Amino acid sequence: MIAVETVFQKLLAAHGEQFWWPAESDFEMLIGAILVQNTNWSNVEKALAGLEAELNPEAIREMPTEELALKIRPSGYYNQKALKIKAFVAWQGEWEDDIHAIRQQPLAKLRAELLNIKGIGPETADCMLAYAFRKPVMVIDAYSRRLFARIGYEVPKKYEAFQQMLETGLPDDLLILQEFHALIVEHCKQYCQKTPKCLACPLKRECKQYI
């Protein structure tokens, strides 16, 4: 079976560096991680554009939840997401919005705090950890599950078990973990779609489900 690190090398060779996360600030990244739940990135961009000058923690804390929901409407599930964003900015306020101070926290403690915020699940927490708080974690999502199942891995159902499986096969290096997550998304969008385009896939020689 193809090793996890070989999958990374092949995807990197095929797609090049992705330089994620697409955001102009850490705060935009953090809010984007909530907005992207159950939607695509173009809807996130529209929702972020709706916030415009108010895309900062103070403005969002002061904004009524209903107003926030209307501004982020293009992202879908906007009432729920407004509550999640409110909960997140309240938590960040406890840190006086000091991203650098938050980054100093140990990974396990910070992850537990994020998971304690209403509406922040493992995937969202790990996106925040990897891209804004710069902690070396592998983000697990539906794309990584699909890809590794197809190339022949027994993918554990439990999020953390699959995460550990991938992390064990990779160097403990933030940039590699960020890139691998981004490369898997790119690969699944280009080739390993629901109906896969196997003929041109750079993993076809090693893939158990090559069709």
Chain positions contacting ligand SF4, by CB under 6 A: 147, 150-151, 191-192, 196-198, 201, 203-204, 207, 209-210
CB of 159 to ligand SF4, least distance (A): 21
CB of 210 to ligand SF4, least distance (A): 4
CB of 188 to ligand SF4, least distance (A): 8
Q: For residues 32 and 196, which CB has a smaller minimum distance to ligand SF4 in the complex?
A: 196
CB of 157 to ligand SF4, least distance (A): 20
- The maximal CA–CA distance of the chain, rounded, in angstroms, is 55
Give the number of other Cβ atoms within 10 Å of residue 7's Cβ. Answer: 26
Q: For residues 101 and 149, which CB has a smaller minimum distance to ligand SF4 in the complex?
A: 149
CB of 5 to ligand SF4, least distance (A): 16
Residues near 36 by beta carbon (within 8 Å), at least 6 away in sequence: 44, 75, 127
CA dihedral 176, 170, 131, 88 (to 10 degrees): 170
**Alpha-carbon distance 35 to 21, whole Å?**
13
**Alpha-carbon distance 123 to 169, whole Å?**
19
Q: For residues 102 and 192, which CB has a smaller minimum distance to ligand SF4 in the complex?
A: 192
Residues near 34 by beta carbon (within 8 Å), at least 6 away in sequence: 81, 84, 85, 88, 119, 120, 124
Q: For residues 118 and 197, which CB has a smaller minimum distance to ligand SF4 in the complex?
A: 197
**Alpha-carbon distance 192 to 194, whole Å?**
7
Tokens of 147: 């890809």
**Alpha-carbon distance 60 to 84, whole Å?**
12
Q: For residues 38 and 193, which CB has a smaller minimum distance to ligand SF4 in the complex?
A: 193
CB of 193 to ligand SF4, least distance (A): 8
The C-alpha angle 74, 78, 79, rounded to 5 degrees, equals 155
